[in-house]
Structure 1
Amino acid sequence: MYVCGRCVRYVQSRLLCIKAQHVQTSLPTALLHHSLPQSCRDRWSSHWIRAFSDQRTESALSHTASRITQHSLVPVKNSELHQVSSAPPPAPAEQTSIDLDALSCPSPFEEISDEDAIQIFVPPNLPPTTFTLRDYVDKSETLTNLVHLGVNLSKLEERPNVGSMLVRLDFQKDVVPRLLFLKDLGVQDFQLGPMLTKNPFLLTESLENLQARVSYLKSKKFSPESVAVMVSKAPYLLNFSVKRLDNRLGFFQQQLGLSAHKTRDVVTRLPRLLCGSLEPVKENLRVCELEFGFRRNEIQHIVTVVPKVLTANKRKLTQIFDFVHNTMGVPHSLITKFPQVLNAKFLRIRERHLFLEYLGRAHYDPTHPNYISLERMVALPDETFCSEVALASLDDFERFQKTL
C-alpha cells in the first residue's frame, strides 16, 4: 500500500497539534472524515484506524508518525497488515470532539525538506495551454494515429484553432468513418496524410454532406476516378455545398463557352478552380482578350490545353506574353498552337532565346528552313536543348549565361 505525500504531511501536522494541546481523541476517525480526499480515506481506513486507536501516549504518537513517513514510500507487507487488522478492538473510551479547522495548518508556501519533496507524486495530465501539439501526441489517440497516417502536425499547429479541434476529436467516432469514406471514394493511402494536412476540417464535416457532394459530382457525369483525383488534388472541394459547386461549374461553362465535356476535363485537371476565388479567373480572361488580343476561340483552345492560365499570376503572364510576342516576334497563332509557353519560366525563355539569337538560330517562323518550335525550346532540358536545338555544347550555354 502506498500513501501520498499530501496525506503524510497532513497527518503529521495534526499529530503535532494534538500533541501540543494534550488532546485525546479518536484521531483516525477525525482525520479521515474531516477533510482528507475520499481516495485517501479508503487507503487509510483499512490499515491505520486501529493502529491509532491503541496509541494515545506521547511515545505512541511519535512512533506512529515515524511509521507513517516510512510507509509513504515502502509498501506494507501482507503479514504486517494481517497482524494489525487482527488486533483486538480497543476498550471504549470517552471521546472528545475537536474542531480540526480551528487548529493551525501548515502554509502552502512553507518550505519542505528534500525527503518530503520526493514523496510528492503528481499524476501526468495534459497541459492546459501549449504552443505545440507535441505535448499531446503521446496522450491523444487521435494525434498519434494522424501522425502514423502522415499528417504534418507542425503545419497544422500554426493555424488558429486547428490544434484544439484535433485534440477534441475521438479517433474511432470522428476520424475513422471519414477515412473509410475517402478510401471508398478511391483516395490512396499515401494521399490521406497530405490531404488532411491541407484540409483538416474534413474530419468535422458530416458524412451526409460529404456523400451529397460526391453524388452531385457523379450526377454531372464525373467518373469515380475523376472524383478521386479532384478530391486528392483539391481537398477543400468537399467542404463546399452542392449549390456552390453547381454555380462554379455553370460559371466556367458560360464564361469559357465550352461544352459540358470540355468543362469537365478542365475542372478535373485543375480542380482548385471550384475552390478558389473567381476574381483572378475573370481578370486573366479580360487580359487575354483585351490586352493580349486573343480571339475567343483562341482563348478556349489555350484554356483547354493549359488550364493554369486561368489562375496564373497576371504580372508573370503579361511579362511572358510581352517577351514572346514583342521581343521574339511570335504571332498569336503560334502562341495558340503552343500555349505551354505561357506556363513556362520567364528566365528560361529569355536565356534560351538570347542564346539562339547569339548563335543566329532564333527562327520561330514555320516557313523558315531552321525553324525552332516553341515547344522544343521551352520543354527540353538544358543538355538536350543545346545538343538538338542550339547545336552547341552545354559548357558554351553555361558560359553564355554568365554574361547576362
Structure 2
Amino acid sequence: MAFCCRQLRIKHRLLPPLNTAALTISTQLRHCCTVTRARQPPNVTWPQAKYQQRQHIRFYSDLIVKHQENKENAKEAVLLNESPTTLDLDAAPGLNALEEISDEEAVSLTPFPPIPPVSATLRNYVDHSETLTKLVELGVNLWKLEQRPNVGSMLLRLDFHTDVAPRLLFLKSIGVDNSRLGYIITRNPFFLMEEMETLQARVNYLKSKRFTAETVASMVSRAPYLLNFSVKRLDNRLGFFQQQLGLSPSNTRTIVARLPRLLCGSLEPVKENLKVCEIELGFKANEIQHIVLAVPKILTTNKQKLTQIFNFLHNTMKVPHHLMAKFPQVFNAKFLRIRERHLFLQYLGRANYDPDQANYVSLERLASSPDEIFCTEVALATPEDFYLFQKTL
C-alpha cells in the first residue's frame, strides 16, 4: 500500500491538466483497492479485509473531494479572467498525498490501528466493528456470547445495517421494549440469522391462536428463543399441554403466557413432573390442573425439591392433598423456610393447619409472609424470639 502511494506521488509531482486529473486519481483509487484486496495476508478474515478496504476508499475519496474543490476554484478564476495559479502541493499543511517520501517514512505510516487476526475475546474487535459497537450500546453482554462456540465469528460477519437493524426494528414493531433488546440478543444471538418472513410468520401464528399483541411481546421478551421455533413446532407444543393437562384453549394460553419458556425448553422434565405429581405424590387430575394453572413453574421445578417439600408437608405437617392443591404456591417456597417456621410454630404450640380448628395457619401465610409479619401475626411472637430459635436448629 505504501509503495502504491509513493508511486502515485512520484508520477504526479505536478498535477496534470484539470480535465484528466480526476480520471487519473479515480483510476489510481481503483488500482489501490484492487492491490489491497489481492495482497491481503492469509490470516486476515473477510470482515477485516472489508474494513481495511473501506478505510482506503475513504482516504482516497477525500482526496478526490479536495481535487474537485480545487477544480471549482480554477473555474471561478477563469470566469474572472484570471489565470489559474499552479497548485503548490508542498505548501499544503500536513502530509501531502502527492509528495514523494522515503521508504522508511512509508513503512512508518499507520492509517488505522491493525486488527488482530486471532483473538480469544471480542473486546479486541469492538473498535473495528460497527456491529459490535452498536450491540454494546444496546446492552449486549459480549463476554457471555464469546463463551459460546462460533458465536463470536458469526457476529463479526454480520453487517449492522443489513443484518441487525432490520431485526431490531422487527422486535420494536411487535411491541418489545428497548430495555429488553440487549437481553434478547445476549440470550439468543441466533435470532439475528433468522429470515424476516419467517419471524413474521411465527408472530402471525401466535396471534392467530388469540394471543394478544402485548402478550406476544411479553413472551418474546422473557423467552428469546421463542421466535427460533417453526410454526409446526409451536403448534405441537400448544397441543401437548392442552392434551396432557386436559385444559381448555383459554387456560392453555394462560399457562404459556405466564411461562413462555414452556414452548422452548425440553418436554422431558414436564412429562416427568406430571408423572411425579400423579403417581408418587398422589394428586388427582383436577388437582394437578389447579396446581399448574396457579403455579406453571411447577412443570419445570426440580423433581427432588418437589418431592422434598411434599414429603415434609404431608408426612411431617400432616397437610392433606386438597389443602396443598388449594395453596400450590407453597411448592415455590424454600424448603428451609417452611421447615424453620413449622418447627417454631410447633415449639409455640401453634402448628395447626386444619381449617376447621381454632388458630388455623394457612400454607400461604406460612410460606409467603415476610419474617416480621409471620412472627407478629401468625406466631404471635417477636422477630427476636424467632431469630434466637433459628440458632438452636
TM-score (normalised: structure 2):
0.76
Out of 140, 151, 173, which is 1:151 matched to? 140
Task: Report whether the alignment pairs 1:39 with 2:5.
Answer: yes
1:249 matched residue in structure 2: 238
Task: Report whether the alignment pairs 1:357 with 2:346.
Answer: yes
Q: Per-residue CA shift, 1:5-48, capped at 9, x if unaligned?
A: xxxxxxxxxxxxxxxxxxxxxxxxxxxxxxxx333211233449
What's the CA shift for 1:120?
Answer: 2.4
Secondary structure at the aligned position of 2:247 is classed as coil
Out of 219, 225, 231, which is 2:208 matched to? 219
Query: Partner letter of residue 217 of structure 1?
Result: L
2:18 matched residue in structure 1: none
Task: Report whether the alignment pairs 1:120 with 2:86.
Answer: no
What's the CA shift for 1:175?
Answer: 1.0
Alpha-carbon separation, structure 2, partners of 1:330 and 1:273 = 30
Query: Partner letter of residue 291 of structure 1?
Result: E
Alpha-carbon separation, structure 2, partners of 1:217 and 1:47 = 68
Out of 338, 358, 376, which is 1:369 matched to? 358
What's the CA shift for 1:125?
Answer: 2.7
Q: Per-residue CA shift, 1:311-365, capped at 9, x if unaligned?
A: 0000110101000111111000100000001111111111111111111111000
Task: Report whether the alignment pairs 1:77 with 2:66.
Answer: no
Alpha-carbon separation, structure 1, partners of 2:178 and 2:339 = 42
Task: Report whether the alignment pairs 1:311 with 2:300.
Answer: yes
Secondary structure at the aligned position of 2:265 is classed as coil
Secondary structure at the aligned position of 1:197 is classed as helix
What's the CA shift for 1:366?
Answer: 0.2
Q: Per-residue CA shift, 1:343-393, capped at 9, x if unaligned?
A: 111111111111111111110000111000000111111111111111111
Percentage of identical aligned residues: 67
Secondary structure at the aligned position of 1:391 is classed as coil
Q: Per-residue CA shift, 1:268-320, capped at 9, x if unaligned?
A: 00000000000000000000000000010100100010001100000110101
Alpha-carbon separation, structure 2, partners of 1:301 and 1:249 = 18
Secondary structure at the aligned position of 2:149 is classed as coil
What's the CA shift for 1:119?
Answer: 6.3
Query: Partner letter of residue 205 of structure 2?
Result: Y
Alpha-carbon separation, structure 2, partners of 1:119 and 1:308 = 64
Say how many residue pairs are matched: 310
Query: Partner letter of residue 7 of structure 2?
Result: R
Alpha-carbon separation, structure 2, partners of 1:150 and 1:354 = 46
Alpha-carbon separation, structure 2, partners of 1:160 and 1:380 = 44
Q: Per-residue CA shift, 1:197-232, capped at 9, x if unaligned?
A: 111111111100000000111111111111111111
Out of 281, 295, 308, which is 1:292 matched to? 281
What's the CA shift for 1:77?
Answer: 3.1
1:164-179 matches, within 5 Å, as 164-179=153-168
Secondary structure at the aligned position of 1:298 is classed as helix
Query: Partner letter of residue 383 of structure 2?
Result: L
2:260 matched residue in structure 1: 271
Alpha-carbon separation, structure 2, partners of 1:321 and 1:118 = 78
Alpha-carbon separation, structure 1, partners of 2:376 and 2:315 = 27
Task: Report whether the alignment pairs 1:193 with 2:216.
Answer: no
Ranges in structure 1 where 5+ consecutive residues have no aligned partner: 5-36, 49-75, 80-84, 86-115
Alpha-carbon separation, structure 2, partners of 1:330 and 1:118 = 85
Alpha-carbon separation, structure 1, partners of 2:298 and 2:203 = 27
2:29 matched residue in structure 1: none
What's the CA shift for 1:121?
Answer: 3.3
Task: Report whether the alignment pairs 1:400 with 2:366.
Answer: no
Q: Per-residue CA shift, 1:233-290, capped at 9, x if unaligned?
A: 1010000000000000000000000000000000000000000000000000000000
Alpha-carbon separation, structure 2, partners of 1:310 and 1:358 = 34
Query: Partner letter of residue 304 of structure 1?
Result: L
What's the CA shift for 1:117?
Answer: 9.6
Ranges in structure 2 where 5+ consecutive residues have no aligned partner: 15-88, 93-97, 99-103
Q: Per-residue CA shift, 1:100-153, capped at 9, x if unaligned?
A: xxxxxxxxxxxxxxxx69962344232111111111111211111111111111
Query: Partner letter of residue 325 of structure 1?
Result: H
Alpha-carbon separation, structure 2, partners of 1:138 and 1:237 = 32
Alpha-carbon separation, structure 2, partners of 1:188 and 1:164 = 28
Alpha-carbon separation, structure 2, partners of 1:315 and 1:77 = 82
Secondary structure at the aligned position of 1:186 is classed as coil
Query: Partner letter of residue 277 of structure 2?
Result: C
Out of 304, 307, 332, which is 1:343 matched to? 332
Choose 1 or 2 for highest CA Rg. Answer: 1
1:228 matched residue in structure 2: 217
